Structure formats: C-alpha cells, structure tokens
Amino acid sequence: MRVGYLARSAIGAGAAANALRPLSASVAALPAFFSGWLTSELAPQLIAAHAADSAWQIARGRTRTRAGRAGLVLSAGAIAGLAMTTRRALGARAVVDDVLKELTDAIDAPDATHAAAAVVPRPWRQIARPFRLRRVGVRRTAGVSYGPAGFRNRLDVYAAADVTPGDRRPVLVQIHGGAWVAGRKDQQGLPTMFERAAAGWVCVAPNYRLSPRATWPDQLVDVKRALAWVREHIDDFGGDPGFVAVTGGSAGGHLAAMVALTANDPAYQPGFEQADTTVQACVPHYGVYDLANTAGDKRARVRTHFLSRAVLKRPVSDTDAFEAASPLCLVDADAPPFFILHGSNDTLVPVAEARRFVARLRATSRQRVLYAELPGTQHAYDVFHSIRSTAVIAAVGRFLDWAHADATARQSPRPSDGTADRQSVAPGSLTAL
C-alpha cells in the first residue's frame, strides 16, 4: 500500500511537471499530450485527489516509513505544480478578454460592440462537473442525412427547445478533429455547441469520411456538402442560412480554415458546384495550418509522412498537393473574420504554426483577425468543461455574437451622408500574445 502511494505520488509529480513544461521530442509528443492535456484541464480535481490521498496516508500512519515520506514529498510537489497549472488556467480569461477588446472600437455596429464587451460569470458548477456536457433546454436532432456516404454523411443539429422553423437564428457548424482518420460528430465541441444553442444559436455537427479509406480532399468535400445542406435546410430547424460560422479543433480546425478560405471553389464541390459554401466567421482551435511544412519544422516531419501515406496518399515531394491542402498557402483578402486560438504548450501542433498563419492572415485579409495564445495550454483544451475551456468558450461566444451583429449591421440600410463608405471593421493589428 505504501509503495502504491509512492507510485501514485511519483506519477502525479511527473504529470504536473509535464503539464508545466511538456516533452517536445517527436517520439514523446503523443504521450506528452495525453498526460499534459488531462493534467492541465483537471488540475483542481487532481489537487483534491492528491490532498485526500496524502491525508489518508498520514491518518493511517503510513508516512512514517522512508517510502511514505518520499511519497508525501512527491505528492506535495505534484500539488505545487498543479497549483501553478491552475493559476495559468485562471489566466486564460484575462488573455481572451484582452484579445476581444479589439472589437469594441467597431464604428458602425453598436450591437456588435455590446456583444464583444459582454462578460459572463465563471460557471463553477460546470467546472466542478467537467464531463456533464448536456444542457437543460437544448435539444439535439441526431443522424440527419446530408449526403450519400451513409453514417459518415450524417449530422446532428442542436437548438434551444423554444426555437422553431423560420426563426432565422445564426448558425455554427462544428467540425470534429481526429487527424483526418478518427473521430465523429458527437465526441468534440459539445461544450461550445450547448453554450451557443442555449444562447439562441443553431449548431450543426457533421460526420465526414475518414482516411485511410477516404483520400483527401474527401473530408473537405463532405464538410462543404454539409454546409450546402445547411444553406438549403437549416431554416427548417430555426437557423438562418444567411449567417453561418464554422469552428473545429485540430484536424477540425484545419477543415474549418479550409472551408473559410476555399469558399465556392468548384474543385471541392463535385456535383454541387453552384451551392453557396461561404461562411461569415471562422474560429479554429489548435488547428493544423501548414500541411506542406513550408517552415521545415522538424517536429512536423512525422506528420508530413503520415499525411503522405494515410491521408493525401501523395509523395512528400508533391509539394503542390500539400500546399493546396494548407490554409497557410491559401490566405487571400476575401477571408472572413477569424478568431484563432492555440495553446503555447501544444505538443501535437506547435504554436509557431498558428503564429505564422495569423501573421499571413493579418497581412492579407480585409477582415478582423484575432489571435489568442493561451499560456501553458495543451491540445484539445475545449473538449470538456474546465477553468480554461469555460473562459475560452465564453470568449468564442462573444466573438461570434459580435460577428453576427456586425454582419447584420453591414446588411442594414446605410445613411446617405457619406458614412456608408466607412469600413465597420479593419484588418486586425493585435500584437501576438
């Protein structure tokens, strides 16, 4: 039993150290992610577990031995590391709030300014129950077919129970991740969708074909097909086909960015070339933006070879194919407003990749480009409720409300005194955090 306590304490101390400073070598990226992700997002619960374990061991007199004392020291170290991790998580709110301040100077959209400035209390009850993802008052319509590929062409719709057909609520499409080879619509993005649905939005989560059975760009074609379905049918669920935003994490963040940057491209719309696949805002989390690895990042080489064999099924030397699948290489002035979020401790997709994507967007796009770099944050931080994820999800909601209000203001009749020519938004100039 004493050895068990020592082992638990040692594992906890190691996990806390990895959460604070994760292993970055390619071979350790995946285990470093899993350990760092769960430890970072569940730090308060783990503090309580270590404290309870140590109190029990002390009460039973099991810390009088050398192994027991060593376990107590390691447990104290784990608690200290977890406390530092919790402090970083608490700081995420200040980071995203600071980023959103850029939206409050909108000229022609007072409703948009109000939406961006609104701050909601921290939902401690959700944080205390991290895996309770459902929301009272939100209904899900599951398994709606949007294409010919069976289960992989089905989607779910989330909306508040009082939303009725024809209500014209703004729409958010959530694209799951999973390295283009795994995942499904009901496994990711649930906290965001339930929050947005409770706030009056209509949310759509599609499945899409996966590699290695599917070959790129099948994934993108399916997401665009789902978007075409939204344009045609979302009014039946109370959504507004005139305002559609897109979000997703990891491979889903990549697909969200690709959707935003390849609007109405017939190469990705076989058989539905005339469908409108534009989006009015894009919020990628910890996305993959440089499949071609144009920066020559050593840690991205493993990913490039994986993509070559399993997803694109093209040789690494086929740079055109990889660049055509890289949002970084597709940025143009017509990109919609972006809010990009990435963790500084991400071991699966290095944060430098997000920084390069943001820099290129800001240099090119005519729309807002917001970027929140979350300190001490791993990949997949928004999958369940935590101190960090609730702050980030609230900020994403404020950005989306701003984007919707701003788009509505743009569509409204303008005065004829010359002010109609003014830009209500300008390219983002926020300093990278």
What are the DSSP E strand ranges found in 38-168?
138-145, 154-160
Active-site residue identified among 53, 156, 222, 346: 346
The yes-or-no answer on residue 156 being catalytic is no
Contact assessment for residue 193 and residue 262, using Cβ atoms and an 8 Å cutoff: no
The yes-or-no answer on residue 346 being catalytic is yes
The amino acid occupying position 352 is A
Between 27 and 431, whose confidence is greater?
Answer: 27
Q: What percent of the chain has pLDDT over 90?
A: 83
Local confidence band at 332 (pLDDT 50, 70, 90 cut-offs):
very high
| 3-state SS class at 328 | helix
Is residue 421 pLDDT above 60, yes or no? Answer: no
Distance CA 365, CA 332 (A): 6
Residue 116 confidence (pLDDT): 53
169 conformational bin, left if phi > 0, alpha if psi -120 to 50, beta if neither: beta
Contact assessment for residue 160 and residue 212, using Cβ atoms and an 8 Å cutoff: no
Mean pLDDT of 79-94: 97
Residue 296 CB neighbours (<10 A):
7
| 3-state SS class at 171 | strand
Helix crossing, 110-117 with 387-411: angle to 10°?
180
| 3-state SS class at 208 | coil
Give per-residue pLDDT as tens, 171-221. 999 999 999 999 999 999 999 999 999 999 999 999 999 999 999 999 999
Residues in the chain, total = 433
Contact assessment for residue 202 and residue 166, using Cβ atoms and an 8 Å cutoff: no
Contact assessment for residue 41 and residue 13, using Cβ atoms and an 8 Å cutoff: no
Active-site residue identified among 50, 342, 379, 385: 379
Contact assessment for residue 194 and residue 134, using Cβ atoms and an 8 Å cutoff: yes
Local confidence band at 425 (pLDDT 50, 70, 90 cut-offs):
very low
Contact assessment for residue 123 and residue 199, using Cβ atoms and an 8 Å cutoff: no
Mean pLDDT of 83-112: 83
Backbone angles phi, psi at 171, to 5 degrees: -120, 140
DSSP 346-382: -SSS-HHHHHHHHHHHHHH-SS-EEEEEETT--TTTT
Mean pLDDT of 335-341: 98
Quick check: bond before 212 cis, omega within 30? Answer: yes
- What is the residue-averaged pLDDT of the chain? 91
Distance CA 266, CA 264 (A): 6
Active-site residue identified among 250, 308, 326, 389: 250
Radius of gyration of the chain (CA): 23
The yes-or-no answer on residue 222 being catalytic is no
pTM of structure: 0.91
User: In b/e form, how buried is each residue of 151-168, taking b as 16+ CB within 10 angstroms?
Assistant: ebbbbbbbbbeebeeebb
Local confidence band at 104 (pLDDT 50, 70, 90 cut-offs):
confident
Distance CA 398, CA 117 (A): 8
Distance CA 188, CA 179 (A): 13
DSSP 403-421: HHHHHHHHHSPPPSSSGGG
Local confidence band at 102 (pLDDT 50, 70, 90 cut-offs):
confident
Residue (of 218, 222, 216) closest to 204 by Cα position: 222
Q: Which residues make beta-bridge pairs with 340?
A: 371
Fold classified for 93-421: Rossmann fold (3.40.50)
Give per-residue pLDDT as tens, 255-295. 999 999 999 999 999 999 999 999 999 999 999 999 999 99
Distance CA 298, CA 302 (A): 8
Is residue 418 pLDDT above 50, yes or no? Answer: no
Every domain of the chain and the residues it spans: 2-90, 93-421
Distance CA 430, CA 433 (A): 9
Give per-residue pLDDT as tens, 310-322. 999 999 999 999 9
